[in-house]
Structure 1
Amino acid sequence: MSQNNSGELTEIQLVVFKLGSEEYGVPITQVQEINRLMTPTKIPQSPPFVEGIINLRGKIIPVIDLKKRFNLPLVDHTANTRIIVINIGENTVGVVVDAVTEVLRLPMSSLEPPPPMISSISVDYLKGVGKVGDRLLILLDLDKILTEKEKEQLAATEACAKDTVKF
């Protein structure tokens, strides 16, 4: 991210990924790492979009499927499917995406608020739309993809998993 002399953000650096045919971006500052898909351990009574948990270098991380979260059509995972490990508030969560395509810098001047019907995802989850040449990049608001109740459920799932699951 770059700032001008008065401290205003002039550009944002994004990790770009695909869900179906749409391209999405999240700020690189919220991304810890990107991993190949690993099979999560299922956790009983977790929300339907929670795939389970993974052990990432000794840390238990819940994994959510963004397609299930956003009610998008599900397809089989491929060799390009990835788990992006992100920070949502105080939570570390893995999100399953179809592919990570690039990291890019986007001038703040090329961002616009999301129009009401830009994608099949509710505008509540979106920060805006970025124009990259002739492409439109949908910027997700990671802090809003989980409700407070869902964050609490994930934290409880993670705590329960630490007590019961041995890797």
Structure 2
Amino acid sequence: MSANLPDAPALHQYLTFRLGGLEYALDYSRVQELRPLQALERFAADGEIIGGVAISRGVIMPIVDMRIAFGPRTAQHDPKTDVIILKLSDCVMGMVTDGVTDIVTLGPSQIRPFDHIGEDSDYLLGMGHIHARKLIVIDIDRLMAIRRATLGARHAA
């Protein structure tokens, strides 16, 4: 006879990365791979935020430099700069950050929602807490949808 135990809260894995002095986390299931920026065949630089188009393992994808998108600074490429290759709901794209930190596991009780965020910030899921670390947990699909819409509006103007 088995006892009916309540379901344990679902734990999720997150890839953590640094950007502008803050640490972020995104759903690890959205990560296809990590590649050094220098290992990607890049061409067609399109502007500041879109760092061009690259080919990785036969897939053509845009490269978004989040270091520029999230802060008023120029991107400094170094030989160790990693690109997070994301498999989003409607495309594959690369995202350049200040650096990948690690993979962590968080449960719902470890993520506190943000108070008073606007519609344009609905990609911010909450503040993750693990040991002494604070992680800004993001919905990468929503964030990249905003970036694509913004860039599309710029090109249409």
TM range (shorter): 0.7 to 0.9
Larger radius of gyration between Structure 1 and Structure 2: 2
Q: Deviations over 1:60-106 (max 9, x none)?
A: 11100112222353341234421001122211110001111111111
Counterpart in the other structure of 1:68: 68
Which range moved further: 94-103 or 139-148?
A: 139-148
- The AA in structure 1 aligned to 2:98 is D
Shift of residue 28, structure 1, vs aligned partner: 0.7
Q: Alignment partner of 2:61: what SS?
A: strand
How is 1:126-137 mapped onto 2 (pairs within 5 angstroms)? Answer: 126-137=124-135
Q: Is there any run of 5+ residues in structure 2 with no aligned partner, and where?
A: 153-157
Q: Deviations over 1:35-64 (max 9, x none)?
A: 111363124xx4641101111111111100
Q: 2:127·2:137 contact (CA, 8 Å) conserved in 1?
A: yes
**Identical-residue share of aligned pairs (%):** 26
Structure 1 residues 149, 134: CA separation in 2 closer, same or farther (over 3 Å shift)? closer
- The AA in structure 2 aligned to 1:135 is R
Q: 1:116·1:123 contact (CA, 8 Å) conserved in 2?
A: no
Structure 1 residues 153, 60: CA separation in 2 closer, same or farther (over 3 Å shift)? farther
CA distance in 2, matches of 1:72, 1:31: 26
CA distance in 1, matches of 2:133, 2:16: 12
- The AA in structure 1 aligned to 2:20 is G
CA distance in 2, matches of 1:136, 1:128: 10
CA distance in 2, matches of 1:87, 1:152: 20
Q: 2:27·2:139 contact (CA, 8 Å) conserved in 1?
A: no
Counterpart in the other structure of 1:27: 27
The normalised TM-score by structure 1 is: 0.73
Counterpart in the other structure of 1:41: 43
> Are 1:89 and 2:89 counterparts?
yes
Shift of residue 148, structure 1, vs aligned partner: 6.5
Counterpart in the other structure of 1:59: 59
CA distance in 1, matches of 2:61, 2:91: 9
Structure 1 residues 134, 85: CA separation in 2 closer, same or farther (over 3 Å shift)? same
Q: Deviations over 1:101-137 (max 9, x none)?
A: 11111122110112458xxxx7333111100112110
Q: 1:77·1:98 contact (CA, 8 Å) conserved in 2?
A: no
Q: Is there any run of 5+ residues in structure 1 with no aligned partner, and where?
A: 155-167
> Are 1:105 and 2:105 counterparts?
yes
- The AA in structure 1 aligned to 2:90 is E
